[in-house]
Amino acid sequence: MTLLRGVDLHGDRVDIRIDGGRITEVGRLTRRPGEESSDRGTVRPGFVDDHLHLHALAAAVASLDCGRTRDLAAALRMAMVDRGGWVRGIGYPGDDLDAAALDRLHGSRPVRIQHRSGALWMVNSLGVAALGLDHADHPGIERDFSGAPTGRIWRADDWLRTRTLAEIPDLGDVGRRLAGYGITAVTDATPDLDPATYGSFLTLPQRVTLLGVPLGDSAPAPLVTGPYKIVLADSSLPSLPELTDRIRAARAAGRSVAVHCVTREALLLLLAALDECGPPGPGDRIEHAALVPADVVGELARRGLTVVTQPGFIADRGDEYLREVDDPDDLYRVSSLIKAGVKVRLSSDAPYGPLDPREVIDAARHRRTRGGRIAGRNERITKRQALHAYLGPALRPGSRADLVLLDEAGSVKDVFIVGQRTPLRLAPRARTTVPYRPQ
């Protein structure tokens, strides 16, 4: 049992008793013998990050960040290799690399570089050979007109993991970093998870929901099997009947759907497919909704859909978006969705977007780009709205004890998940690389 004494909860100074993972009492309470206690501070629900990628987040720490590298060849030359002997880069902003182009940058060790969207890996010729792409059978392997692999591989993370000897990353450190940000629950949005990886999620203190559990399977408790993730790849959209079939299959397996939708075309296709499938499921979600035309906002509300969005991208990449879109209000809308009655959840999409909820909230409030411009001023929301869309359920007697204790400066002092005090570790600012280990 734990007693939080003299804490601020919704503006009232109270004591809070936690027992069996729940808040049992709130009021003026007397400490019981043997009861652990914490004094003063402000208590609020933990953040719920409803869309991120846990294994990629763990792996990102041990990778070369290609996002802000000016001389990629030099950076690759200096980079350490992972246990499979690969140089691994992430966050590359272009999709212009293939095996030949990568060979010119670095040809002496196998290299794999991930596009910053997470959807594409680009490997050099040694990488093509190490993966056996010539004879491999995976639909994501891009081939030229003669059937030879180009070195570009789409949406094949789990397949690549087995081929590159990459370990399933240990998520303990990720769990402590998340706790340091006051995050008490997460949803992993990686599609098509390999059931062999479920065990790794059990090492996190956070409550974990998985969207990538294959249809017909379910993740072991306390992991939660969430809606079924469907990716509408921007480059090759499915036909309407194909998408309708996939949604029907999820419904038949008792799952709602969580559909990755970045473009207008994908969004309109999804709405048409949902209409074919009858009334939407209560848990149906749109992931990202990166571009929503104004006249579609009402359509989302009418169908009772939840939008899980990442305004953090506006702060991170807003200047590029501004060059590409006609109306910046269409980008990662939040305010108009809330006004129309759409359920909105904020999230990070880490490691592809910033993980820190405060950065995401600032981006939702100000929509200021790195270049200092405001991308879509009508879509800014208040801090209160942002917190409402990011925090877990309100704390009251009977509710789950997933909560954060803040000090006077508003910094995270302590985190309780399922009533258990959770060790904190804030993210180190600098990335680290793994030491070289010859194979």
The verdict on 64 binding Zn ion (CB under 5 A) reads no
We find the least distance from the C-beta atom of residue 90 to Zn ion, in angstroms, to be 14
Q: Which is nearer to Zn ion, 287 or 299 (CB)?
A: 287
Q: Which is nearer to Zn ion, 16 or 189 (CB)?
A: 189
We find the least distance from the C-beta atom of residue 348 to Zn ion, in angstroms, to be 9
What is the SS3 string spanning the chain?
Answer: CEEEEEEEECCEEEEEEEECCEEEEEECCCCCCCCEEEECCEEEECEEEEEECHHHHHHHCCCEECCCCCCHHHHHHHCCCCCCCCEEEEEECCCCCCHHHHHHHCCCCCEEEEECCCCEEEECHHHHHHHCCCCCCCCCEEECCCCCEEEEEECCHHHHHHHCCCCCCCCHHHHHHHHHCCEEEEEECCCCCCHHHHHHHCCCCCEEEECCCCCCCCCCCCCEECCEEEECCCCCCCCHHHHHHHHHHHHHCCCCEEEEECCHHHHHHHHHHHHHCCCCCCCCEEEECCECCHHHHHHHHHCCCEEEECCHHHHHHHHHHHHHCCCHHHECCCHHHHHHCCEEEECCCCCCCCCCHHHHHHHHHHCECCCCCECCHHHCCCHHHHHHCCECCCCCCCCECCEEEECCCCCEEEEEECCEEECCCCCCCCCCCCCCCCC
We find the least distance from the C-beta atom of residue 287 to Zn ion, in angstroms, to be 6
Q: Which is nearer to Zn ion, 99 or 189 (CB)?
A: 189
Closest to 16 in 3D by CA, of 6, 47, 183:
6
We find the least distance from the C-beta atom of residue 288 to Zn ion, in angstroms, to be 7
The verdict on 193 binding Zn ion (CB under 5 A) reads no
We find the least distance from the C-beta atom of residue 51 to Zn ion, in angstroms, to be 6
The verdict on 349 binding Zn ion (CB under 5 A) reads yes
How many binding residues for Zn ion (CB under 5 A)?
A: 2
The verdict on 189 binding Zn ion (CB under 5 A) reads yes
Parallel/antiparallel/unpaired status of strands 42-45 and 403-406: antiparallel
Which part of the chain contacts Zn ion (CB under 5 A), choosing from 84-92, 227-235, 346-354, 376-384? 346-354
Site string for Zn ion, 127-166 (x = CB under 5 A): ----------------------------------------
Q: Which is nearer to Zn ion, 269 or 290 (CB)?
A: 290
Which part of the chain contacts Zn ion (CB under 5 A), choosing from 124-132, 181-189, 249-257, 406-414? 181-189
Touching Zn ion, residues 214-243 (CB under 5 A): none
Q: Which is nearer to Zn ion, 211 or 223 (CB)?
A: 211
The verdict on 60 binding Zn ion (CB under 5 A) reads no
Site string for Zn ion, 295-334 (x = CB under 5 A): ----------------------------------------
Q: Which is nearer to Zn ion, 49 or 330 (CB)?
A: 49
Which part of the chain contacts Zn ion (CB under 5 A), choosing from 102-110, 170-178, 347-355, 409-417? 347-355
Which part of the chain contacts Zn ion (CB under 5 A), choosing from 83-91, 182-190, 329-337, 405-413? 182-190
We find the least distance from the C-beta atom of residue 298 to Zn ion, in angstroms, to be 26
Binding site for Zn ion (CB under 5 A): 189, 349
